[in-house]
Amino acid sequence: MDLDKRLERVAVLGAAGKMGSGITLLLAAEMARQKIRKDCGDRCYVLHAIDVSDEALSGLLSYLRPQLTKVAEKSIVALREAFAHRDDLVENFDIITAFVDEAMSVVRPSSKMESAADSRLIFEAIVENKGVKIEVFKKLDAICPDAYYLTNTSSIPIKVLDEGAGLDGRIVGYHFYNPPAVQKLLELISSERTRPELVELGKELAGRLRKKVFPANDIAGFIGNGHFMRDILHATGEVERLKGDLGETGAIYAVNRVSQDYLIRPMGIFQLIDYVGVDVCRFIMQVMTEHIEGETLQDDLLDRMADAGVMGGQYSSGKQKDGILKYEKGRPVGIYDLDKGDYRLFEDGDWTKKVDQKLGEMPEGAASWRALLMDPKKDEKLATYFGNLAASDALGAELAKTYLVRSKEIGEKLVKGGVAESPDIVNGVMMNGFYHLYGPVNEYADLVVKAKA
């Protein structure tokens, strides 16, 4: 059965969640594009949006309409062409409304798993729990015996889900990044059992959804989280090392600043942990530890933060919740002090200034991530900056150098360990999924190693 045929009957599980709602949006738009094709004939498209929460499902519908309108507005030229045979659609407004109506008409919200019966493609974005996912797959497989399953799991090996549910190779890892409608990256994870036809279908669909596909092998955490989780452990190890001198909040502040300003990343490592959620990161580490032999990913600082109820994550509006850092208007304004049981604000006294002084002067050529993002001379400027960083012996520069070298080691280990086929794929995932300006396997780390030798 080809992709067009499979796209006629689709289900999204966990459709009202953060990832599921974005996946539902992408699919509803693609199914509407198919439906309005001149040669569509009498084909019927159904997208079952399934979630255990009825309340959340009503929120899904209010989310979809304005988002679909945005999609239609952005593709008005293509839509005008697709609707050329419809004389009744003249103004842009008519075309946009017609497209949104077509897309909304394919979506069938439901809180009953049985609604998915006869689905040919099933996207799964429910809770990250192996047992729950396997139970759901087993139930569904009894009513959708020919379906292909595309799971959004962040960490669980696909083979484990496949064997647990008896899917016989009809499952692939389809790892969208958050938010799925915006993020271009898609990690496509095939296990040794995944059917080649499903992998090809996944690639073809990704092209239609305008995603950049990066293949990953089936090792827990895959590429993105495989790098991110180990990067976290490096950062927290540095906090442990520095806290005798800077205090724990001072050390968190320093490492967060180094990982953002000195490495020229979009946000510091502790802000990124908050974005993903402290408990989510902890959980991914547990899953990786369970499935990767000879490596324990566990972190005392994250455990203590989570035990103190410091979780991060986002409100349903998308607003950042306080976590290891406290936020005002989306910007960090303080750091959680585990001894005090409250946030230590940046503006309270001069403690951040003192840490900044210890970090020392930024190397010459330093620029913000935002400033370099669209700069045509970005690579040249990065090379000059990292050359200066390599030559500096200020504390901040030393921390950045160690960070850079460790990040490269992690990237190389992902290739050696067979998670990624090549350094370019690791770099592609980190640049497209985490918006790094340069991949972890880079020549800047070599400059640092040379300068140290």
For ligand NAD, the binding residues (CB under 6 A) are 13-14, 16-20, 50-53, 56, 125-128, 132, 136, 152-154, 175, 177-178, 276
Q: Which is nearer to ligand NAD, 294 or 330 (CB)?
A: 330
Smallest separation (angstroms) from ligand NAD to the CB of 111: 8
* C-alpha dist (Å) from residue 8 to 15, 24, 109, 286: 17, 14, 16, 38
Q: Which is nearer to ligand NAD, 50 or 445 (CB)?
A: 50
Residue type, 282: R
Smallest separation (angstroms) from ligand NAD to the CB of 183: 9
Return the DSSP state at 420: S
Return the DSSP state at 320: B
Q: Which is nearer to ligand NAD, 26 or 397 (CB)?
A: 26
* Cα distance between residue 428 and residue 434, in whole Å: 10
* Cα distance between residue 425 and residue 419, in whole Å: 10
Smallest separation (angstroms) from ligand NAD to the CB of 128: 4
Q: Which is nearer to ligand NAD, 24 or 352 (CB)?
A: 24
Smallest separation (angstroms) from ligand NAD to the CB of 412: 24
Q: Count CA within 13 A, CB hemisphere, residue 139.
A: 12
Q: Which is nearer to ligand NAD, 152 or 249 (CB)?
A: 152
* C-alpha dist (Å) from residue 323 to 17, 285, 303: 21, 18, 13
Q: Which is nearer to ligand NAD, 121 or 399 (CB)?
A: 121
Smallest separation (angstroms) from ligand NAD to the CB of 157: 13
Cβ contact 168:148 at 8 Å: no
Smallest separation (angstroms) from ligand NAD to the CB of 276: 6
Smallest separation (angstroms) from ligand NAD to the CB of 179: 8
Q: Which is nearer to ligand NAD, 56 or 96 (CB)?
A: 56
Tokens representing residue 128 in the block: 């990250």
* C-alpha dist (Å) from residue 226 to 130, 423, 426: 18, 14, 10
Q: Which is nearer to ligand NAD, 128 or 412 (CB)?
A: 128
Cβ contact 259:235 at 8 Å: yes
Smallest separation (angstroms) from ligand NAD to the CB of 126: 4
Q: Count CA within 13 A, CB hemisphere, residue 53.
A: 15
Q: Which is nearer to ligand NAD, 60 or 263 (CB)?
A: 60
Residue type, 334: G
Q: Count CA within 13 A, CB hemisphere, residue 69.
A: 8
* Cα distance between residue 29 and residue 33, in whole Å: 6
Smallest separation (angstroms) from ligand NAD to the CB of 25: 13
Q: Can you list the pairs that 202-207 forms with residues at least 24 positions away whose Cβ atoms lie under 8 Å? A: 202/150, 202/172, 202/174, 204/3, 205/3, 205/7, 205/30
Smallest separation (angstroms) from ligand NAD to the CB of 304: 23
The interaxial angle of helices 351-359 and 248-257, nearest 10 deg, is 50
The three-class DSSP label of residue 33 is helix
How many Å separate Cα 176 from the centre of its chain? 6
Tokens representing residue 399 in the block: 């921390």
For 228-362, strand residue ranges (E) read: 325-328, 331-337, 342-345
Q: Do the bridges between strand 148-151 and strand 9-13 make them parallel or antiparallel, or are there none, so unpaired? A: unpaired
Q: Which is nearer to ligand NAD, 19 or 355 (CB)?
A: 19
Smallest separation (angstroms) from ligand NAD to the CB of 335: 23
Q: Which is nearer to ligand NAD, 52 or 415 (CB)?
A: 52
When CB distances to ligand NAD are compared, the closest residue is 17
